[in-house]
Structure 1
Amino acid sequence: MPRAILALYDTREEQKLRLSRIHTMAEMPLNHLGLTVVYWDVADGLPDLARFGDLRGVLTWFAGDPFDDPRGYATWIGKAMDQGLRVVALGQSGIRRSRAGTAMPMSLANRFFGRFGLRDDDGYSDLTHRSRPVVADEMVGFERPLDGPLPGYPLMRAVDPRVTSHLVLRRGGQPESDSHIVVTGPAGGLAVEGYVRHYDPELVRRQWIINPFSFFRAAFGTDDLPKPDVTTVSGRRLYFSHIDGDGWRNATEIESFGKDRPIAADVVRREAIEPYPDLPVTVAPIGADLDPAWKGTAASLAAAKALFALPQVEPASHTWSHPFFWGFFQDYTPDKEAAFAPASGRRARGGYLANWFGRTRITEDEVVGEGGHAGGPDIGRYAVPRAFLEEPFDIAREVGGSLDYMTGIAPAGKPARLIQWSGDTQPYAAAIAATRAAGVRNINGGDTRFDAEFPSYTAVAPIGVAMGDQRQTYAAASNENTYTDLWTNRFYGFRNLVHTLRNTDTPIRVKPFNVYYHMYSGQKSASLAALKEILGAARVADIAPVTASHYAAMADGFQSIRLVPEGQRRWRVVDRGALTTIRFDGASFDAVDFPRSKGIVGQRHHQGSLYIALDPAVEEPVVALAAVDRTDVAPPAPRPYLIEGRWMLDGVEVYANGFLAGAQGFGAGTMSWWMPVPGRYAVTAERAGRVLWRGEAVAGVDHRLSLTIPVAAETPLRIGADRLD
């Protein structure tokens, strides 16, 4: 089933894809609907559609007129629609004028708009004080109501009865003046400029006017599409946590530690990691902070070894020399960086400088005072291109070298397999390719917020971003740096992460539960208290914890997965990688049809959607659905299945009186199963043939078998349940 949306954008209008309207606002709702996005810069002309394999549609969001030849664009759009692609046009159509400003004939405009079931009556209402909505359904006024003066709008008439009009404006009470502003239909959808999203220039904040989830769902016709989902594992919200090594060697300022104050990395270990063995965390030091040949010390190296030895800690790397501005290194030469060499032949100041990160460019006095140099190329808000300048930049050392170093100091069998991007978290394509060549994942960037300061889904990032033929995976939530005015104020601010965690889980689950922070959180009492408050919230949440590298692998699986129809309401799942959940929306009266399915661990209804857990041990699961007549109980089935659980399960074997399954996870194994036969069940957990725990649980008249297996499962084990009576 085609899942890809071809997004047309214009670098002459939006210089960076990362900052484009489609990427920052539209791609996340599209991801939620199971869709991927591929980009094409129309400054390079129009693409050959044949080069894209599984397109579902085309999306544009222009603010101006990007085409020298709008006629050619109209022809291209027509061919796309003739091939069955749905087209969605937000903002300006790109068809009314050429890039040089030449007006196009109305016949050309109506050839374009006619494809959407509309006709342009060659009019425009710029005085809107007498205009009122006569149709404004639930798709309009999503985050920003239509109040106050309305933006100007073109006069668009609906001419196709198959079109659904979601917003119709009328002037002066005259029906003949009705203008159809937001529409969807079999060809796609259209929403005119000024009625897609609201922008507040004073607060620099955006809010959706249309409901992007509903609009894209209707325009791209996704109801028939099973949705690959990276927010949920084993029927629960996925949890992961990762730490960037910034501030590793900073001495803590917390007075309770006494005069001999430990470094921040040790404080975080003792206060926020060791007391939480049930919450995995991926720890990524900076190589230069550990290696004695650079700026490492005995204490900084020992701190890393102590952390990596903990069973809930996954080793990773935050690069070797901590690049701040990755774009600087895309065409790197040592001479280019020489402008930032330390003054008077002194070596660069060692260690991470918190006041250099994320700040406006530092004054000349400040730079020289730190042993830096105020001259050289402009690198934006950073004073130097990277934190450690001891040796020339080497991308092989930043990626493969740093990973090898972390693996070398970690216990045997715990390889470092994740790069956590540093600085502006905007790596160039070749840097991302270096992680792929090393066989590891990558993460960071995105800075998702959804709270009182950022009260909109427009601040919720997509799963990742394409850079050329490479792909960067974003963190699922922002770190404490954005809550603390770039680590200069409000050091308690990270506690406000709870609002983003709540808003990205309800009423729509769009993100997993991600706790992402830096080692400098161990430096101050307020920041450490805020971190522990967030970890406390995680402890009582209904979560399934995984490592950060596992989440990044799932994000890659979201891109690669293919869904092959195999009959009535039946799909084969191919090339899914580590992704283990398929979601069906609006599925309260649907359930897994187990006799027609394969490789299914379980199912759970949540928020009107059906989340189906796939067995990682089955290469190509098959998902089939059947109708059920009740929504207040777990759907009946001829075999046991997992409803929800904290651990990930694989190699599941089910039979009439019980089940066997491989299990891996963090914390006690709390889970619920639906059992065909109520009664008492003997439950066991074993590893390598040795029984670790035995117990009993009861499936009541509701067929739910709820149990807790109180053993450690960081190392995989095998669990089973057998009916006793």
Structure 2
Amino acid sequence: MPTCFLYRHSALLGSVLRRLVLACTLLAGGAWAQPAPAVALYYGSGIALSEFGNFDILVVDPDHVAAPRLPATQVYAYASVTEVHPTRAYYDRIPAQWKLARNADWQSDVIDQTTAQWPDFFADNVIAPLWQQGYRGFFLDTLDSYRLAQDFDEQAQQQGLVRVIETLHTRFPGIQLIFNRGFDLLPRLPGKVQMVAAESLYRAWNARTQRYEEVSEPDRAWLLEQLRTVQERDHLPVLVIDYAPPHDRALARRTAEKIAADGFIPWVTDSDLSSVGIGSIEPVARRVLVLYNADESPSLRYSNAHRYLQMPLNHLGYVVDYADVNQPLPSAVYPDRYAGVITWFSGFYPGSRGRMVEQWLGQRMDLGLPLAIFGTWGKEPGAAFARKLGLQNAAEPAAPTALTLLNQHPMLGLEAQPPLPGAQTDLEQLGPALLAQSTPLLALRDAQGRTLVGGAITPWGGFILDPNVLTEIPGTEAARWIVDPFAFLQASLRLPVLPIPDTTTENGRRLLTVHVDGDAYNTRAEFPGSPLTAQVLLDQVFRKYRIPQTMSIVEYEAHEMTPELTPRLEAIAREIFKLPHMEVGSHTYSHPFLWDTSRRHGLFLEDSEAALTLDVPGYTMNLEREIVGSTEYINTRLAPPDKPVKLLQWSGDTAPGEAALAITARAGLLNLNGGDTFISKLDPSLTAIGALGLRKGPYLQVYAPATNENIYTNLWTGPFYGFERVIETFEMTGSPRRIKPVGIYYHSYSASKPASLKAVHKAYDWALRQPLHPVHAYEFAQKVQDFYDFAIARDGTGWRLSGPGHLRTVRLPAALGVPDVQASQAIAGWRPGEEAPYVHMTGASARLQTAAAAGAAPYLYEANGRLAAWQRTDQGFTATFQGHVPLVVTLANVQGCRVRADQRPIAAQRRSANTHTFQLAHAAAQIDVLCPGR
């Protein structure tokens, strides 16, 4: 139900709160001098509420979302008091005689507040169901709507509203209320209202004309007087909600600044409250939309956009959404959530879609969204689109032999040089105006003296055309970047300098994961006595390396395939899972080779005769059986009662469809595998590093940090020692950019041969020599999930950071300085990194303040355990760590300080100019740092 307020000098109704999101703000001056909560209002349903996670209060329409849970945000429910819309569930239970008037603009009925039964009806039918869902705060709207009636007793109506509020406080102890106006009620309700909101101080939405408008000076003066009274008489914080088009972020920002300067909490949003607005803090857009042509690849997974482009975008901190140009393109793509739009086409998409796509792209440009073009335009730009882009259509194509090189930008030549001028194909001539404002990346001159470019950074974004994007290595599936994708994306999309959520690191140390797919668990190993491969794994790997590891089982192999071995195989599995450092995973029932049977793609392409699973007599592949059934088998027969399966490890082509992901999510499992990161000295290209994962519908497939030994051994044909090259992958994904954790990932069959087992040992031994932070694979999957739900907001000169709580590291680009640990909140410390410092959050949310240079306060430099608790004190801090291996903790600026572990003094094993490293015998400890005189 939208909010409806009256201007004092006109009948124009303000459009309030249809879809609420509450923006956060600190009060600048005014009678109410305490820091005000950050408030946002959002009434929509298409945006993940995690994008509002940096606000202290978020108001939602409970009819549009399930009762949300955000770690650091109080979620309030919208409730209309005097108006009821026919769409509300309780509308039909309201007697006709209770209806006082009709709001024609919103098609709602105004309820007579003098009705004796109304307070209890409102409490029972509106608030009680929401209270049961977990809401404890409510945004009460339409408190003034009784004035829409032709004839009413104002005092009686107000007294009826007072009875409603008093009834709520009696029936729901501890209830928190925000009033939308209702100024005259406040003196009668001392202590019963938390905050007062009002709409349209500077900018309004006219519901009748459907237009955004400036508020008149008389209306503004009257409202300003009411709001000052609320502050001075009632000593309540004031939230002002103004309206601006969702694409005009500059206008919204200026309006929010005006409201804050007046001493109020600002929230500026669109007329439907269905976008991410701007308040006293400004949420940062972390999404990028990529257009691709599904006809160019067997599936999105194999498209250039996903294979090559998503990883750089993820590393820069951005979530990637995809849209197929053969389908209707999304309309709600605005700068509130999207940092830009990218296209990557290798050829031309159907002509019937060409102009529609151009029109759509032109509309995004009009909204101010940067546009980056990779490969081809997808369709020769039409005259109107070419003019919009600033391209000048050449009268005739250039003759390749007549081209000479004028300039090559340093952005080109990252892993391979651009083709020679004679091999250039897609070139554009920029119009004079565009050329003057652009930076050509590859400029050539033809025989007619024209300057043609193969790419440029332009005022609207940028483009890089084939053959200057990447080149394929003949006779292989390998490719090399010609253009630096990081630099091109940063420049063309004009990406701001931000703290970047990072899934590779926690508390300054690179993560280490180990997970094993159960293939060939029931086979015999090539060792004296032909022991079971499962026994070799247990004895020579899992019992030797006491670090977090995940072992998965293929149910059919362990239970049915070799029935004579079943008792022994199951006993070994129980021994494995009893080990305290082992995590339990499922590798399905029958090991599907092809997960999405709706389109035969991936491992088997179009081979209709290819096996879908292991040969299970009488069995037809069933997703529920593969996922839920295998999990139940492992939980009931193999896993300890306190260690149920938490991770589903994809088999075969590792390309589950949305249906499989949905079943996995409903079963309460996270998932892992796919991605195919295999960079090595044999293929030393960024193109061989996969993304974090791939969304399919609302579900996320999480990719493994690195691929498994099957790739390094040429699909298990040899050399069987090939997995030792995974160490090159670890090194090359750690420097010069730390893009991935160290992820040891292999199959049971690596324990079946001496050469492959030796390679596995080499991988473990290398990892244990590094200063890493070991975690279970499930914990890594949680961090990748968090990456998609992580929120960043500008807060004055600092930043607000929030997420579900598993991802606790951000990289801080050099341009932002270093953390000011004393001025920050919930920041334990930082450590220099390969590209930028890694900043350690202590929980789900933090406020990060930066400085040009590090201060003298003590802080956490790095640790191989997770922070379970943290508290900074006047002279130091107290930190509780919980890890998986004996703790190693490095502290900075603790010279002259007393350091205790579990109340006992400890001495540093290593010291440097400003760090002290402490080694403990246990995986958990409380560290107290006391620095007298600091």
Shared fold (TM-score, shorter chain, > 0.5): yes
- In the aligned structure 2, how far is the partner of 1:150 from the partner of 1:723? 67
What secondary structure, in the 3-state scheme, does the structure 1 residue paired with 2:295 have? Answer: coil
Q: Which amino acid aligns with 2:851?
A: A
- In the aligned structure 1, how far is the partner of 2:678 from the partner of 2:819? 35
1:239 CA drift (Å): 1.0
What secondary structure, in the 3-state scheme, does the structure 1 residue paired with 2:541 have? Answer: helix
Q: Write the mapping of 1:458-537 to structure 2, written as runs, cut at 5 A.
A: 458-537=687-766
What secondary structure, in the 3-state scheme, does the structure 2 residue paired with 1:80 have? Answer: helix
What secondary structure, in the 3-state scheme, does the structure 1 residue paired with 2:840 have? Answer: strand
Alignment counterpart, residue 621 of structure 1, candidates 846, 864, 869: 846
Deviations 1:473-524 (A, max 9, x none): 1111110001112112210000011111111111111111100000001100
Tell whether 2:919 aligns with 1:702.
no
1:282 CA drift (Å): 0.7
Alignment counterpart, residue 265 of structure 1, candidates 534, 546, 549: 534
* Correspondence for 1:91: 375
- In the aligned structure 2, how far is the partner of 1:297 from the partner of 1:651? 45
- In the aligned structure 1, how far is the partner of 2:437 from the partner of 2:461? 11
Across the two proteins, how many residue pairs are aligned to each other? Answer: 643
Deviations 1:364-396 (A, max 9, x none): xxxxxxxxxxxxx9446x435345345444323
- In the aligned structure 1, how far is the partner of 2:794 from the partner of 2:360? 29
* Correspondence for 1:46: 329
Q: Write the mapping of 1:422-461 to structure 2, written as runs, cut at 5 A.
A: 422-461=651-690
What secondary structure, in the 3-state scheme, does the structure 2 residue paired with 1:533 have? Answer: helix
* Correspondence for 1:571: 799
Whether the 8 Å CA contact 1:168–1:180 is kept in 2: the answer is yes
- In the aligned structure 2, how far is the partner of 1:200 from the partner of 1:25? 15
Whether the 8 Å CA contact 2:429–2:450 is kept in 1: the answer is no
Alignment counterpart, residue 170 of structure 1, candidates 445, 449, 465: 445
Tell whether 2:433 aligns with 1:159.
yes
- In the aligned structure 2, how far is the partner of 1:73 from the partner of 1:159? 25
- In the aligned structure 1, how far is the partner of 2:599 from the partner of 2:427? 46
Relative to structure 1, the CA distance from residue 457 to residue 501 in structure 2 (aligned partners, 3 Å threshold; closer, same or farther) is same
- In the aligned structure 1, how far is the partner of 2:763 from the partner of 2:802? 37
1:219 CA drift (Å): 1.5
Q: RMSD of aligned C-alpha atoms? A: 2.7
Tell whether 2:718 aligns with 1:718.
no
Whether the 8 Å CA contact 1:644–1:673 is kept in 2: the answer is yes
Tell whether 2:59 aligns with 1:59.
no
1:170 CA drift (Å): 3.1
- In the aligned structure 1, how far is the partner of 2:708 from the partner of 2:684? 17
Whether the 8 Å CA contact 1:125–1:152 is kept in 2: the answer is no
1:575 CA drift (Å): 3.1
Relative to structure 1, the CA distance from residue 659 to residue 95 in structure 2 (aligned partners, 3 Å threshold; closer, same or farther) is same
What secondary structure, in the 3-state scheme, does the structure 2 residue paired with 1:266 have? Answer: helix
Whether the 8 Å CA contact 1:156–1:181 is kept in 2: the answer is no
Whether the 8 Å CA contact 1:322–1:387 is kept in 2: the answer is no
* Correspondence for 1:111: 387
Relative to structure 1, the CA distance from residue 500 to residue 95 in structure 2 (aligned partners, 3 Å threshold; closer, same or farther) is same
Relative to structure 1, the CA distance from residue 124 to residue 723 in structure 2 (aligned partners, 3 Å threshold; closer, same or farther) is same
Whether the 8 Å CA contact 2:737–2:835 is kept in 1: the answer is no
Tell whether 2:298 aligns with 1:31.
no
Q: Which amino acid aligns with 1:648?
A: R
- Considering only CA atoms, is the larger Rg found in Structure 1 or Structure 2? 2
* Correspondence for 1:672: 890
1:696 CA drift (Å): 2.2
Whether the 8 Å CA contact 1:661–1:718 is kept in 2: the answer is yes
1:287 CA drift (Å): 1.8
Q: Which has the higher contact order (CA 8 A, sep 6+)?
A: 1
Q: Which amino acid aligns with 2:438?
A: V
1:169 CA drift (Å): 2.2
- In the aligned structure 2, how far is the partner of 1:483 from the partner of 1:202? 18
Relative to structure 1, the CA distance from residue 646 to residue 294 in structure 2 (aligned partners, 3 Å threshold; closer, same or farther) is same
Tell whether 2:359 aligns with 1:81.
no
Deviations 1:40-76 (A, max 9, x none): 1111133313599711111111122224253333322
Whether the 8 Å CA contact 1:230–1:555 is kept in 2: the answer is yes
- In the aligned structure 2, how far is the partner of 1:234 from the partner of 1:64? 45
* Correspondence for 2:296: 13
Whether the 8 Å CA contact 1:238–1:544 is kept in 2: the answer is yes
Alignment counterpart, residue 287 of structure 1, candidates 543, 555, 558: 555
What secondary structure, in the 3-state scheme, does the structure 2 residue paired with 1:422 have? Answer: coil
- Percent identical: 32
* Correspondence for 2:644: 415
What secondary structure, in the 3-state scheme, does the structure 1 residue paired with 2:880 have? Answer: strand
Q: Which amino acid aligns with 1:309?
A: K
Tell whether 2:789 aligns with 1:598.
no
Specify every segment of 5 or more residues in structure 1 that has no aligned partner in the other structure, as ranges: 98-103, 333-357, 362-376, 629-634, 686-690
Tell whether 2:354 aligns with 1:135.
no
Q: Write the mapping of 1:76-475 to structure 2, written as runs, cut at 5 A.
A: 76-96=360-380, 104=382, 107-114=383-390, 118-128=391-401, 130-132=403-405, 134-146=406-418, 148=420, 150-157=423-430, 159-160=433-434, 161-171=436-446, 176-254=449-527, 258-259=528-529, 261-277=530-546, 279-291=547-559, 295=563, 297-328=566-597, 378-379=607-608, 382-389=610-617, 391-408=619-636, 409-475=638-704
- In the aligned structure 2, how far is the partner of 1:464 from the partner of 1:625? 31
1:128 CA drift (Å): 4.2
- In the aligned structure 2, how far is the partner of 1:601 from the partner of 1:136? 45
Relative to structure 1, the CA distance from residue 706 to residue 724 in structure 2 (aligned partners, 3 Å threshold; closer, same or farther) is farther
Whether the 8 Å CA contact 1:88–1:189 is kept in 2: the answer is yes
Deviations 1:642-696 (A, max 9, x none): 1112112131122254432222223321121113x512634314xxxxx7x7632
Relative to structure 1, the CA distance from residue 560 to residue 285 in structure 2 (aligned partners, 3 Å threshold; closer, same or farther) is same
What secondary structure, in the 3-state scheme, does the structure 2 residue paired with 1:413 have? Answer: coil
Q: Which amino acid aligns with 2:908?
A: A
What secondary structure, in the 3-state scheme, does the structure 2 residue paired with 1:166 have? Answer: strand
* Correspondence for 1:636: 855
- In the aligned structure 2, how far is the partner of 1:249 from the partner of 1:53? 54
Q: Which amino acid aligns with 1:667?
A: V
What secondary structure, in the 3-state scheme, does the structure 2 residue paired with 1:248 have? Answer: coil
1:560 CA drift (Å): 1.1
Q: Which amino acid aligns with 1:683?
A: R
Alignment counterpart, residue 610 of structure 1, candidates 837, 841, 852: 837
Whether the 8 Å CA contact 1:207–1:458 is kept in 2: the answer is yes
